[in-house]
Structures are given as C-alpha cells and as structure tokens.
Amino acid sequence: MFLSVFDMFKVGVGPSSSHTMGPMVAAARFLDLLRASPFDAHGLRASLHGSLAFTGVGHATDRATILGLAGFLPDSYDHEKAESALEKIRTTGHVHPEGLPPLAFEPREDLKFDFGPNLPGHANGMILMATDAQGDVILQETYYSIGGGFVLTEGELEGGAATDEGTPIPYPFKSAAEMLEMAEHSGKSIAEMKRSNEIARGCTESLNKGCARIWQVMNDCIERGLTTDGTLPGGLNVRRRAKGIHDALQAERGMNLVAPHTINDWMSAYAMAVNEENAAGGQVVTAPTNGAAGVMPAVIRYWLDHVPSASASRVEEFLLTAAAIGGLVKFNASISGAEAGCQAEVGSASAMAAAGLCAVMGGTPEQVENAAEIALEHHLGMTCDPVKGLVQVPCIERNGLGAIKAVSAASLALRGDGHHFVPLDAVIETMRQTGADMHEKYKETSLGGLAVNVPNC
C-alpha cells in the first residue's frame, strides 16, 4: 500500500476537498477524455448526485464543476481569473477550455442537482456528458470524489484502483502492525521508512521541495487567516474570529497572570485561521481533507512557536510521519465525511497530527502509533452535519478542538513506553464500521444533526 505524502497533502482551494476540488479534478479529467475522443462535441452537461447534490451549493460544487469544465485546476487556481471566467460563461452560455472549441454550457440548464438515490459507487458521485449539435450524448463518464481530492471513474473504482499497490516499494506496510514490525526489523523511524518509499517512487529533490512548499502554503494560510476579519460568505453571517483571538493573545503575552490553558486558544486560533480561509474559498492544503485542513498546520505551528528546541528543518519528518498514518486510515477505512462522517475527516487529521508531533518530539514508532490511536479513538462516532451545507458550523471550531486533542494525544503517548491496550488498527476498523452503520443524514448531507436543529439564518 502506497499513498504519497503529496496524495495526503494537496495544494488546493476551499471550501471542500471532496465537494470542490474533487469535482474540479473530475471535470479536468473529462476534458482530457474529450480531447482524446474522435467525436465532435458541441456542448457539455453535468449531474451531481448524493452528497454532492445535497450540500453542493454550500460547498461550491456547482461553481467548481463549471470552472473545471472551463479548464481550471485546484493547484493552480486563480480567484480573479475564475470570477472573470464565470461571468463570461453566464453571459455567453459557453465554456472554452484549452485544446477544445467553445462548448455550449448553460449552468442553469446543463448542471443538474439530482436528489434521488446515490450512485452505486460512493456518496459523492457525478456524471459528465458531452453532446453533439442535436443535443444527443456522445460521450459520458461517471466520477466519484472519494475524499481528500481523490477522484476515480466508475471503471477505476470497480477495478480496484483505490487499492492498487503500484510498483514495489521498500516498506509496503498495509497496517499499523506491519508498520511497527518493519520499523523494528529495519531500525528505521516511520518517517525514514516513508521517505524511502517516496524516493523509490520519485527523487529526493522533489520530495524536499514538495514538503517545503506544502508547509509554506499551510503557514501562509494561517497568516492570512490571522490578519483577516469580516463575515464569511454563504448566508450564515458567521464572523471570522481567528484574528480577534490572535490579537488578544498577543496583547496578553508577557503577563504573569495568563492561565496555562491559554495555549489551547493559540492552537484554536491557528486552526480556525485556516478553516476560515477555507470557508472563504481561499488556498489551503488538504490535510487530509479541506474540512479538516486546520488541524495539521495548527499543530505544526504550535510546535514551532511554543515548544522549546522545535526546528523548521524537521517539518518534513512531521509531514512524512503524518502521511504514513493518513495512508493507513484511507486504505483501511475512509477520510471522507460523506462516507463515514467527520470522524473520518477531523478524526483522521487529529491522528495524523498527533503522530507527527510525537515523532518530532522524540517518540519511538510505538509511541507514534499510540499517539495516533489515542487521537482517533476519541473522535469515533463524530457526525458530519454542516449547517446549511457550509464548511463553517461546526467545522471551523472543530478543527481547533482536533488540534488540541492531537497535542494531548501526543503528550500522553510520550509519557508512556508505547505499550497500550487498544491498537491503532482496531480503532481504524472501528471507525470504518461506525461509518458504515451511521445514518446517511449524518454523513455530509445536512439532513440531520446540527444542520436541522440550528436556524440557517
């Protein structure tokens, strides 16, 4: 089993990796399919299904699909160009992606929200179509956005592409137990094994530069969030709070009367800064999803700014360790809120962050596994019920609490010797089973929980 650190951490655009980035990526893949097709296309159509339909407007899925069909991609997204393109599409009723002629696409008519049964492969399904001059479908593909910006076609999903092992790697662990066994036999840390696997699929230079960029984008996102106030878009009129909290914390610095638990407010401010940027459609890093994007950078920033002897030179070790844990969760369960609730998003992020922090603070592989287990165990059963389908309430605060739990989990693990009662593999399997048993209304459909018990205006 191999998932690259750059699979787990992708530079993209808010507010959702599965509902915004995924559909944009799917649309780009469909354009590539169309470019290679012998058919002469004149128009495009799209239908959104399952969670993509129920919370699509709040997650900007419609906008992402339109922009994807116009040729935009998450990692190179330019907000001003996107706004200009959307206005032109509304005016002309056409998209003009590179390498293709202008294609008829009237969003109000050609983009359909289908609130019927889910497509069979996943809760996040979409169908993209190309039509001829008479309006008949000449090319069609079904895509599934399976969480964290990962996209598979119907054929790829049925063919097992989600579990494809690819070319051999030095340390092919598929479970935490195998990971610990390989660490013991090799004498390597989890990050060192992960690094060897990454190098086997790429090169050291691209790994170093890529990790440096991931942290730069994360930290830049924190800084934007800490210096921006105002009201978030979407209609809930949620006020940005990270800047105000951070300003107050800075004003209190140096005072002897500040309570020790105030450190939790620093972590929350860092996490909320990221998720407020995400809610505003800004540039974020999926970690492992956009809805959980604040946990990892908040814990890294906490470590760098508040823990003695922390060093930015070890951020790559943090990311590699976290990616190893995230890969296990994704491979054996899910990181998709639409599939398994928020336990799969913020819970996974907290486990990844706990593992990374434990590693850079000197934890053994056994302690790292214990840290991840503690963090994930105490997110089990968490539902995904965003109010009005927006990645705002309870998502923004929830990232702050996920970061706090991650730090607590790492600290508890470091106080022990790595031996513990519940193995990480058991918690991951429990999370999978809990997600399977969870009612659909609690899995990113906004049909239950807070989404129906809190006024939407």
Quote the pLDDT of residue 257.
79
Helix (H, G, I), strand (E, B) or coil at 113: strand
- Tokens linked to 369: 């596994």
Backbone torsions φ then ψ of 111, nearest 5 degrees: -115, 115
Ranges of the chain whose pLDDT falls below 70? 1, 162-165, 457
Q: Are 122 and 141 contacting, i.e. CB atoms less than 8 angstroms apart? A: no
Beta-sheet strands, E only, within 271-410: 283-286
pTM for the predicted model, two decimal places:
0.93
The token pair that represents 169 in the structure block: 């790697």
- What's the start-to-end Cα distance of the chain, in Å? 45
Strand pairing of 43-50 and 111-114?
Answer: parallel
pLDDT digit string, tens, across residues 367-398? 999 999 999 999 999 999 999 999 999 999 99
Q: Which residues 6+ apart lie within 8 Å of 87 measured at CB?
A: none
Instruction: Name the packing angle between helices 315-332 and 346-360 (round to 10°).
Output: 140
| Residue-level pLDDT at 24 | 97
pLDDT in tens, 230-258: 999 999 999 999 999 999 999 998 887 78
Q: Is residue 328 within a helix (H) or strand (E), and if so which, with residue range?
A: helix 315-332
State the pLDDT at residue 202. Answer: 83
Q: What is the pLDDT at residue 258?
A: 87
Q: What is the mean pLDDT of the chain?
A: 95
For residues 155 and 174, what is the distance between their CA atoms, to the nearest angstrom? 24
